[in-house]
Structure 1
Amino acid sequence: MAELDIGKHCQVDSCNLKDFLPFVCDSCSGVYCLEHRSREAHSCPEETVTRETKAAGSTSYPCSFEDCKGKELLPVLCPQCEKHFCLTHRHQDDHKCEKLEVQKPRMAATKELVQKILESKDGSKSKGRRGAKNAATAAKVALMKLKLHAAGDKGLPQKLRLCHPETGQALQMDDSLLSLLAHPEAPLHNGGNVILEYVDNECTGLKDVSDYIAQT
């Protein structure tokens, strides 16, 4: 009985097993058995070439930050130090940019100078306010001392009184301005006149009002 020619031998030299249902590699088009059907199992030459081509054609940019193993497919350049960094260390503060270190003291000095100017202005304003307050307080104290030790002419009358312009009668001290304006018999009613004069406490009025009449 003739042997049926079914199946094919595995192309791996160390195997050469005849498989009735062989596998064809989609990369190198080789025929392989079940054990060597994967590209890695039969060391597919096309897969190796493809990997080498991809490796040669692709470029990665390693991070320049110390002890960082990160890489980026696209360049991430620092505009100051012009070094490549990963996305994690792309900022100047993150990778401790050497250019940033030069600028920090300058910025700190400028900030300190501005702070001193602001503090000096605030201090001068507060000092001016304190000076004005102290001056006002000193003036009040001086006025109190002046009143305490002041002694006027004892011959002067003790009270400044309002007197009737015609009779010279001294008006009551407790009369309010409203009552002097509202009462019909009051001298200030409807725009009348009144005499303002110093009189003795016991005096009830002026004896002679002729000297108070306005000369026209």
Structure 2
Amino acid sequence: MEFPTAGKHCAHSTCNRLDFLPLQCKCGRVFCSDHFRSHCEQCEQSKYLKEDELKTIDNVLVCSHPGCKERSIVPLICERCKRHYCIKHRHLSECQAKDAETIRQEKEKYAAPVRVFNEAKAAVDLQVETTLNEAKKKSKTREMANKVQLMKIKSKATGSKAIPTADRLYFNVTYADRTAPVFVSSHWSLGRAIDAISQEMKLQNNNHKANEKKLKLFKKGDERCVVSDNFSINLKQLLEERVIIDGDCLIIDYVEN
């Protein structure tokens, strides 16, 4: 028994096979399963198919860009890496691995502005420090210079957070070529303050050991002058006697026992 109206003939020029489950292209032409894919690769109306349509076709090309799931039956092969990319991610300049020199140049591109900023900031900080030091030498501007310096130190100082804010004394302490803003308690003895400062600056402290070099605090100036040789003296007393002031610049260093 024949079914003359069942199925359709493949539209391919060399086929014309009667197919009972034909596949119809968006252009309206019908093909057997053997010739449908080859036709779609050439047909302008079938280059961009919907997701559901693509899933019904074998060997669909997926974009090689990380995270991209764009599908296509039309190959867009990169001449350099020989991989398929969708139109959005087909940037030939990005498929090659970067050599060491290219990576170095890219790092320098981003590092240069940071370096310039840090150099400019260091120059400004040095100028401010010089201006403050000059101002301190003049009686009319000394008090204002100390206030400005104290505000600078407070914004960066480190110390024990257990110290109440009202009891904190701030110092800009220098050791060798390092300077660190720190705070201690006004109720502490000089010895305890030196212990805390050495801990903040990560200095070896042998003040409690016999026959070892001791850490002492010095006033920063034209002539280095020790704050006090009496480690048990209270910082409040040193403040009242104007030996030190809140926001002072001090030097910490080792001396022979």
Report the TM-score when normalising by structure 2: 0.29
Instruction: Using CA pairs under 8 Å that are at least 6 residues apart, name the structure with larger relative contact order, 1 or 2.
Output: 2
Report the TM-score when normalising by structure 1: 0.33
More strand by share: 2
Q: Which has the larger radius of gyration?
A: 1
